[in-house]
């Protein structure tokens, strides 16, 4: 009865148009008031305790880094490099957009930032190049979601915090799936552009390619600094996020000089708004997960599903279906924080690697 009320209350609030953070918080509070002996003061403590998680400290730094990169002209340089590299192929402009999204995702860790930074520049150019506007927008929406799979990834940080897994291992596990998805999207674009008879672009000369690569090298260097630093043991993922923010600040103001000092407060304010919004959602989602754990819902569900005799691959199919449905209605971090405490114990009992489960969940959030 408690479980039913908790989830029904959540979906009722969502259907009424209540913001996701408040829906999670209100459904948790009502469940505690009506069905448990816990006090509301314990929920207040839990709400603040969730923000003390060291791993979550990476989130504001990655958001700040992406804000500096978006404002500081890194996106347009990555786009210029991508067009010079693959723009002459069939569907080259769209494939270049995918490549630019992958590169920007590897330095920002955020899907919305990737879509905003790349889409605001590329969609207009694609339409001028003969692509239908809906097709161009669809490509950016598709490729932009790679931001939560290609490391560094804010969503992976959230999963790591929820399940106490290594952020570095999750980042490493996301590299190949991210590249494969980008490659598959590029192949689909190649054939669809050939069918639509999209005009070919002129091939860039070697000099133009080298010039574009030189201009983009500072942005690409952030990939080496962040991932190389983590895997080289120089710093943790949280420290890497702070390094990324400082690096992005330096190249935006002193290297590319596309941003002035008077714009810095606005960038900090914009990053702060996004951070507060996301962390408030995470705090309420963790409170929701706390109610689940207190009522032993994950343990009961784990025992029930294991009792059904599902194999590991059958369980993963069920996970895919659940997450694809949930991803249509809720923000990725919220879904992960709600579903991870339920699915994680079952996966462990079935012998599924937690990192493998994490990547599957992130990919489903990307599609959803």
Residue 236 lies in a domain: yes
Burial 258-288 (b: 16+ CB within 10 A, else e): ebeeeeeeebeeebeebbeebbbbbbbbbbb
Nearest-CA neighbor of 266 among 60, 59, 64? 64
Whether 50 is in a domain gets the answer no
Q: What is the pTM of this model?
A: 0.80
- Residue 42 inside a domain? The answer is no
Q: Residue 265 falls within a domain, yes or no?
A: yes
The answer to the question of residue 323 being in a domain is: no
Token pair in block for residue 75: 């996106």
pLDDT in tens, the chain (368 residues): 677 788 888 888 888 888 888 888 888 888 888 877 777 777 777 777 767 777 778 888 888 888 887 776 777 888 888 888 887 788 788 888 888 888 887 777 677 777 877 777 788 878 887 888 888 888 888 888 877 778 777 888 888 887 888 888 888 888 888 888 888 988 988 888 888 887 777 787 778 888 888 888 888 888 888 878 887 778 887 888 888 888 888 888 887 777 788 888 888 888 888 888 888 888 888 888 778 777 777 777 777 777 777 778 888 888 888 888 877 777 777 788 778 877 888 888 888 888 888 888 888 877 77
Q: What pLDDT, on a 0 to 100 scale, did the predictor assign at position 250? A: 86
User: What integer pLDDT is reported at residue 148 of this predicted model?
Assistant: 77
Residue 131 backbone class (left: φ over 0; alpha: ψ -120 to 50; beta: rest): beta
- Structural domain count of the chain: 1
Residue 44 is predicted with a pLDDT of 74
Residue 38 lies in a domain: no
**Does residue 155 sit within a domain?**
yes
The answer to whether the CB of 102 falls within 8 A of the CB of 139 is: no
Amino acid 271: pLDDT: 85
Residue 196 lies in a domain: yes
- Helices H / strands E in the chain, number of each: 17, 0
Q: Tell me, what's the pLDDT at 72? A: 64
Residue-range definition of the domain harbouring residue 132: 56-275
């Amino acid at each position: 009865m408690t479980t039913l009320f908790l989830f029904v209350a959540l979906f009722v609030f969502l259907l009424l148009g209540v913001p996701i953070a408040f829906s999670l918080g209100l459904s948790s509070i009502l469940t505690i008031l009506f069905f448990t002996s816990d006090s509301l003061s314990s929920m207040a403590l839990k709400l603040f305790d969730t923000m003390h998680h060291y791993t979550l400290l990476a989130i504001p730094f990655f958001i700040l880094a992406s804000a500096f990169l978006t404002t500081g002209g890194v996106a347009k340089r990555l786009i210029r490099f991508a067009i010079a590299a693959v723009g002459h192929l069939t569907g080259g402009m769209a494939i270049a957009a995918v490549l630019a999204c992958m590169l920007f995702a590897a330095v920002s860790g955020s899907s919305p930032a990737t879509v905003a930074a790349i889409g605001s520049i590329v969609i207009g150019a694609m339409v001028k190049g003969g692509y239908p506007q809906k097709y161009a927008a669809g490509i950016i929406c598709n490729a932009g979601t790679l931001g939560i799979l290609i490391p560094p990834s804010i969503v992976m940080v959230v999963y790591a915090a929820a399940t106490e897994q290594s952020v570095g291992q999750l980042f490493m596990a996301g590299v190949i799936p991210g590249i494969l998805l980008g490659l598959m999207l590029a192949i689909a674009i190649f054939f669809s552009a050939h069918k639509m008879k999209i005009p070919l672009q002129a091939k860039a000369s070697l000099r133009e390619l080298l010039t574009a690569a030189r201009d983009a090298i500072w942005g690409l260097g952030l990939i080496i600094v962040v991932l190389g630093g983590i895997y080289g043991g120089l710093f943790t993922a949280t420290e890497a996020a702070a390094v990324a923010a400082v690096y992005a600040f330096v190249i935006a103001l002193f290297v590319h000089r596309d941003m002035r000092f008077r714009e810095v407060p606005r960038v900090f304010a914009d990053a702060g708004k996004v951070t507060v919004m996301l962390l408030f959602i995470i705090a309420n989602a963790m409170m929701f997960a706390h109610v689940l754990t207190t009522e032993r819902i994950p343990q009961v569900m784990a025992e029930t599903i294991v009792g059904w005799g599902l194999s590991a691959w059958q369980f993963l199919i069920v996970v895919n279906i659940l997450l694809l449905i949930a991803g249509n209605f809720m923000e990725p971090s919220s879904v992960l924080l709600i579903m991870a405490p339920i699915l994680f114990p079952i996966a462990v009992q079935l012998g599924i690697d937690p990192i493998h489960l994490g990547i599957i969940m992130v990919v489903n959030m990307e599609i959803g």
